[in-house]
Chains A and B, each alone.
Chain A
């Protein structure tokens, strides 16, 4: 059973701080990793994907991948109240079907 684990939270950070969201996965053959943001009552929206070890930056978002330790993280710099949402980690391996985590709820308070 392929598993993707996320702390359900909520993770509460003050506005302007760095929010750090973590995800671990069980399948060592995993090849691609995705972060989705889901606002309450809305559908998931892709915000980042990463395939190679290391960091990938896109604006205020940085995805970090460490395949040896089987974790992927998402950093959100200068967090804003509009970043408050649930963040879903998805992992895709040899099977083409991605496995999703339960999501981490992030609250950015003014």
Chain B
């Protein structure tokens, strides 16, 4: 266990559904990240939050909406997704965002299937 938890672990949703992914870290970190991992592709950074403030939106479609109510919790709200959005969604955290020596710790991921 890395100290980063994600729920649900698996999610199947239709294109018209609305769902949310939740991430919680118990490491006292100040930075949190959402990544998308698709088969045969590198990890794709989606969003970065530092001290609850969004510092990076990597050209993510608006059907993905992040929320960070505090430094320990991160949500990803999903609506009107497409089948190509099916992937493993990973949350990660680090002490800080800046600093070349910061390391990220990943949660177990949510396996999402959009039908």
Contact = CB atoms under 8 A, between A and B. Distances in A.
Interface residues of B, number: 23
B106 A44 contact: yes
Interface string B39-64: 01111010010000000100000000
Interface of A: 4, 8, 31-32, 34, 36, 41-46, 49, 51, 88, 90, 92-93, 96-103
A99 B100 CA distance: 12
A51 B102 CA distance: 11
7 contacts: A34-B103, A42-B108, A43-B90, A45-B106, A49-B103, A96-B97, A100-B42
Contacts of B108: 42-43
B48 A97 contact: yes
Interface string B68-97: 000000000000000000000010000001
A13 B103 CA distance: 29
